[in-house]
Structures are given as structure tokens and as C-alpha cells.
């Protein structure tokens, strides 16, 4: 189960492991179940402990953004440079809302 907390009207998912094909489905299902059960509308994914993500991991966030396109706002934060480059190469930084810090993400969702 992925840890999450509510802060200033936003739900922060703390991603605590590298994300690849071996765990991407489980992570995606945990996140979707939480969003649906808790009726979450403002989401921040903190990558503080994620040092690696492959294409199956990146697809999690594309699928979630697409599934909840009108109901949910998403931001990513605390992303290591190597992972940030993966999102940049895929032209997903604007689509997913990449922020430097957790507070930057909160501020962008609560303006």
C-alpha cells in the first residue's frame, strides 16, 4: 500500500520505491483505489525516494491523468534529475505538472 497524507486540501502520495514493470500495476491499482475511495481531487506525487522509473512506471501517471482528466489535478514533486529527464524527453512535464518541492506543488493546486 502506498502511503499518503492530506495537507492543505491536497493528497500527497509518497512513492517509496523505484517503479518498474515488476511493481507498476500494483502501484497504479493502489493509487486508483485510493482516489476512488477517498474522492480525491488534488493529488501530489512525491518522488523523494524514487531513484529509477521505467516506461511502465511513467505510464502510471499518464493513465491516471487521462482517467481523471476533468475531476483531478495532478502535480509531481521532489523528482531526481534522472527521472525528471525521462519526463522531459517524453514531453510530459507540462501535462503532469512538475514542481520542485512539495510546497510548490501545494501552492500551485491551492491558488
pTM: 0.94
pLDDT at 92: 87
Please determine, for residue 1, whether its predicted confidence score (pLDDT) is greater than 80.
Answer: no
pLDDT at 93: 86
Q: How confident is the model over 46-67, as pLDDT tens digits?
A: 999 999 999 999 999 999 999 9
Nearest to 30 by CA among 9, 60, 50, 10: 60
Q: What's the chain look like in SS3?
A: CCEEEEECCEEEEECCCCECCCCHHHHHHHHHHHHHHHCCCEEEEECCCCCCECHHHHHHHHHHHHHCCCCCEEEEECCCHHHHHHHHHCCCHHHHCECCCHHHHHHHHHC
Amino acid at each position: 500500500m502506498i502511503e499518503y497524507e492530506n495537507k492543505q486540501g491536497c493528497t500527497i502520495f509518497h512513492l517509496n520505491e523505484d517503479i518498474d514493470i515488476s511493481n507498476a500495476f500494483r502501484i497504479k491499482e493502489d493509487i486508483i483505489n485510493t482516489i476512488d475511495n477517498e474522492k480525491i481531487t488534488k493529488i501530489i506525487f512525491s518522488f523523494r525516494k524514487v531513484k529509477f522509473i521505467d516506461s511502465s512506471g511513467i505510464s502510471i501517471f499518464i493513465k491516471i491523468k487521462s482517467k481523471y482528466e476533468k475531476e483531478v489535478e495532478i502535480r509531481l514533486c521532489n523528482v531526481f534529475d534522472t527521472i525528471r529527464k525521462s519526463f522531459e524527453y517524453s514531453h510530459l512535464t507540462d501535462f503532469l505538472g512538475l514542481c520542485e518541492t512539495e510546497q510548490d506543488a501545494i501552492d500551485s493546486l491551492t491558488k
